[in-house]
Amino acid sequence: MYQAGLRHINIGVESASHDVLKKSSRLPIEVAHQNKIIEFCHKNGISIAAFYIIGMEGDTEKSVLRTIDYAKKLNTLVAQFTISTPYPGTAFFEKLKSEGKINTFDWEQYDGYSPVLKHETLSAKKMLSLKEKAFVSYYFRPAYLLMHMPKYFFEKFLWPF
């Protein structure tokens, strides 16, 4: 696929906790398989964006911190951290609505970055704090800069053709 032009893929890791994934009706992918695919892509020049969700059903502060640590271990070019959002029209939204766990019906807040649900263990303030911690601790660390900045620098400045 690389020879055909594949240079980037997006993957939904979502959480490092298999229990959280199962509680949220997600199919957990084995850690060894994820590592193998990501290492293969890194070795073959294919960059990866990995997506993570903070505040899934069953999440705790501890499970979110484990997910952040796992994201750092995977060390993909992009790590996107969003807050669990029950989008209108989905079964998740209807479930939370029937349970009285929707904080707002202001649709502009349904952006993946604003807490709109009442989580069982995480306050809205805590989810925002964990999201900020995830971004800052992911992108401002030597392992990220050493792995990804040389390629970026080369492509943007030394060989921009």
List of domains in the chain = 8-84+119-158 (3.30.750.200)
Q: Output 72 or 157, whichever has higher pLDDT.
A: 72
Mean pLDDT of 126-151: 91
pLDDT at 68: 98
Q: Output 144 or 157, whichever has higher pLDDT.
A: 144
pLDDT at 153: 67
Q: Output 149 or 58, whichever has higher pLDDT.
A: 58
| 3-class state of residue 14 by DSSP | strand
Question: Angle at Cα 29 formed by Cα 24 and Cα 33, nearest 5°?
Answer: 165
Q: What are phi and psi of 47, to 5 degrees?
A: -85, 155
Q: What is the pLDDT of residues 3-43, one digit of tens each?
A: 898 999 999 999 999 999 999 888 888 889 999 999 999 89
Rounded to an integer, what distance in angstroms lies between the CA atom of residue 19 and that of residue 130?
A: 19
Rounded to an integer, what distance in angstroms lies between the CA atom of residue 81 and that of residue 55?
A: 11
Mean pLDDT of 96-124: 96
pLDDT at 38: 93
pTM value surpassing 0.75: yes
**For residue 117, which of 127, 132, 130 has the smallest C-alpha distance?**
127
Q: 81's torsion region: left (phi>0), alpha (psi -120 to 50) or beta?
A: beta
Q: What is the pLDDT of residues 65-102, one digit of tens each?
A: 999 999 999 999 999 999 999 999 999 999 999 999 99
pLDDT at 45: 87
> Taking 90 as the threshold, does the pLDDT of residue 149 lie above it?
no
